[in-house]
Amino acid sequence: MATCETTCETRRWLIAATLAMGLMFPCPSPAEPQALRWEMPPGQELRVRWSQTLRTEIRGPQTVGWTVRAAVEMRWRVDAVEPDGTLQMSQQFTRLILRTTPADGPEVGYDSASEEQPPFELHEIARAVKPLLERRFTVAMSPRGRFQAVQADAPSLATAHESAAEPWASLLSPAGWERAFGQSLGRLPDSPVQPGDQWQHRETLETPRGPLRVEHSYRYEGAVQVESGSLEVIRVVTEATPDPPPGAFDPPQPSAQRQTGIYHFDAKAGFLAQSDLVQTRWSDVPNSEPPLQVTIQGRLSTQIEPWPQADRP
């Protein structure tokens, strides 16, 4: 049976050995806070691709549904960088693809890169998109990814086909540009973050059905290794509620709306590499007999990469 002195001596030896091992193989220190910012040099060009799928279903005695798929490609170029880090960029739409599958018919599609005439169902949309593809936009974006100013080169979008271009006219404002593309880029934190850190962004969106209160909750999860290096992972959960609540005779508002997503940010390159967002909305149609419910499921994916050298002029 070991004496107290032997036990104490053994304990001192273990402590000394542990300390020695710690000097030989130091424990990893906590990761340094990571600053996530859009930071690119003048002349940097990016290929930006968005793709979105929306599935709409009206459920009642029978279920009727249809699907719309859209893809947009843009070319971004950093023209200048302001002292505060704001990026002055020229952006141009290079391609738009639209496919729709109606409830009672085959899929029809339009591709702006194709020489084929669009089908009758999409003729008006193709007519509206044409002036958009012919314009170059000058955009100011903050280091956190927020659009601050938008300007289109002359002539304005509305000059060619006023009625057809009207849906795209909102892109000429920072709010419209943010509404169209800001969601897929996310909002970076104010200060450097460590895994587990969270931040929020709240906004009110003007929609055809009235104001919508939106709250985005972000969480930084650290870096993951990929073939080209490492990417910083950010997850987001978005909740949206009507503001103010709709009246009895107002159009149906989403009774529930939730969005989840993941962003992969390339901190070394200074831009978002990709994002994937999934959204579900449910609406009850008021005063309908029999009761009807509208469900919209959407997925928005974004990929950003340097513009291929072979395609540069």
| Residue at 156 is within a domain | yes
Whether residue 244 lies inside any domain: the answer is no
Residue 97: give the domain boundaries. 33-189+272-308
pLDDT at 125 (0 to 100): 75
Whether 25 shows a pLDDT value over 60: the answer reads no
Residue percentage of the chain with pLDDT more than 90: 34
Q: Is residue 39 part of a domain?
A: yes
Nearest partner of 236 among 204, 188, 296, 282, judged by Cα:
188
Read off the pLDDT of residues 192-227 as tens digits, 9 standing for 90 and up: 999 999 999 888 776 656 677 888 899 999 999 988
At 75 the pLDDT is 95
What value does the CA radius of gyration of the chain take, rounded to a whole number of Å?
Answer: 26
- The CA-based diameter of the chain, rounded to the nearest angstrom, is 98
Please check whether residue 199 lies inside any domain of the structure.
Answer: no
Q: Does residue 258 fall inside a structural domain? A: no
Mean pLDDT, the chain, rounded, equals 79
Is 277 contained in some domain?
Answer: yes
- The answer to whether residue 240 sits within a structural domain is no
User: Residue 44's pLDDT band (boundaries 50, 70, 90)?
Assistant: very high
Task: Kindly report the length of the chain.
Answer: 313
For residue 214, being part of any structural domain is answered with no
Over residues 236-250, the mean pLDDT reads 69
Say what the pLDDT of residue 8 is: 47
Structural domain total, the chain = 1
pLDDT in tens, 58-111: 888 888 888 888 899 999 999 999 999 999 999 998 998 888 887 777 888 888
**CB 218, CB 189: distance < 8 Å:** yes
Q: pTM value? A: 0.78
For residue 128, report the phi and psi dihedrals to the nearest 5 degrees: -75, -35
